[in-house]
Amino acid sequence: MTYEEFHPYSFTDAEGQPQGVSIDLMRHIASVAGREVQFHANQNPAGMLSELRSGAADVTSLLALTPKRLTAGLGTRELGAFELRAFVRRDGPITTLGDLTGTTVGVVKGSFAITGARLVPFSKVVEFDTTDDLILPLLTGEIDAVVSSQNSFLRRLRMAHVEDSIVSLLPSLVISPYGFVVAPDQESLRTALNAAIDSSVTANLLATVEKKWFGRSRTLWDNKLVRWGLLLSTAMLAAILTLGYWFFHYRQQSAQLLRDRAGDQLLIRALDEVAAAIVIYDTELKAVHWNHGFELIFPSVVPALKKGATMRQMIVQSYVDGTIENDLSDIQIVDMVDQFVEDLRRGKSELRIVRTRDGRVFQARDVKLGSRHYASLRVDITQLQQQQDIITEQAVSLEAANEELRTFSSIAAHDLKAPLFSLLNLIDFMAEDMQEAGITLPQDIQVNWQEIESLSQRMMRLVQDLLVYATTQSECHQSEVIQPSHRLREVLDLVGPREGFDVTIAADMPDLRVNPIAFDMVMRNLIANALQHHDQERGYVVLEATTSGDAVTISVRDDGPGIPEQHWDEIFAPFHRLSTSTEGSGLGLAFIKKTVESWGGTVQVKAAEPRGAVFEVSFPRSTTAETALQQVVAV
Is it the case that residue 611 has pLDDT exceeding 80?
yes
Ranking 22-31, 35-44, 146-155, 293-302 by mean pLDDT, the lowest is 293-302
Q: How far is residue 406 from each of residues 399, 517, 571, 627, measured CA to CA in Å?
A: 10, 20, 21, 32
Look at residue 410 in the predicted model and tell me its pLDDT. Answer: 60
Question: Is residue 313 over pLDDT 60?
Answer: yes
Amino acid identity, residue 254?
S
| Banded model confidence at residue 624, pLDDT cuts 50, 70, 90 | very low
- Residue with more model confidence, 286 or 257: 286
DSSP type of residue 324: B
Report whether pLDDT(321) > 60. Answer: yes
The per-residue pLDDT for 627 is: 44
**The pLDDT value given to residue 34:** 93
For the stretch 434-451, pLDDT in tens is: 888 888 888 888 888 787
Rounded to an integer, what distance in angstroms lies between the CA atom of residue 497 and that of residue 495? Answer: 6
Give the per-residue pLDDT at 475. Answer: 47
- Whether 254 has a pLDDT exceeding 70, the answer reads no
Query: Is it the case that residue 163 has pLDDT exceeding 90?
Result: no
Nearest CA-CA partner of 630 in 487, 490, 513, 499 = 513
- Give CA–CA dist 293/362, Å, rounded: 14
**How do residues 49-99 score in pLDDT, each as one tens digit?**
999 999 999 999 999 888 888 888 999 999 988 888 999 999 999 999 889
Percent of the chain at pLDDT > 90 equals 21
Mean pLDDT over each residue of the chain, to the nearest integer: 81
Q: Which residues is 503 bridged to in the sheet?
A: 541
Please give the pLDDT value at position 328: 86
pLDDT tier at 301 (50, 70, 90 boundaries)?
confident
Q: What is the DSSP letter of 276?
A: S
| Tens-place pLDDT, residues 521-556 | 888 888 888 888 888 889 999 999 998 888 899 999
Q: What is the mean pLDDT of residues 103-130?
A: 88
pLDDT at residue 269, as a whole number: 57
Average pLDDT over residues 450-479: 63
Q: What pLDDT shows up at residue 580?
A: 47
- Most confident listed range (218-222, 273-277, 298-302, 416-420): 298-302
Can you give the three-state secondary structure of 568-587, one letter per residue?
A: CCHHHCCCCCCCCCCCCCCC
What pLDDT score was predicted for residue 521?
Answer: 80
Q: Note whether 594 and 472 are within 8 A (CB).
A: yes
Question: What confidence tens digit (pLDDT) does each residue in 325-354 have?
Answer: 888 888 888 898 888 888 888 888 878 888
Predicted local distance difference test score (pLDDT) of residue 86: 93
State the CB neighbour count (10 A cutoff) for residue 20.
25
pLDDT tens digits along 385-408: 778 878 888 777 766 766 666 666
With the CA atoms of 77, 80, 81 and 87 taken in that order, what torsion angle do they form, in degrees rounded to the nearest 10?
Answer: -150
Distance CA 389, CA 66 (A): 89
Q: Is the pLDDT confidence value at 626 over 50?
A: no
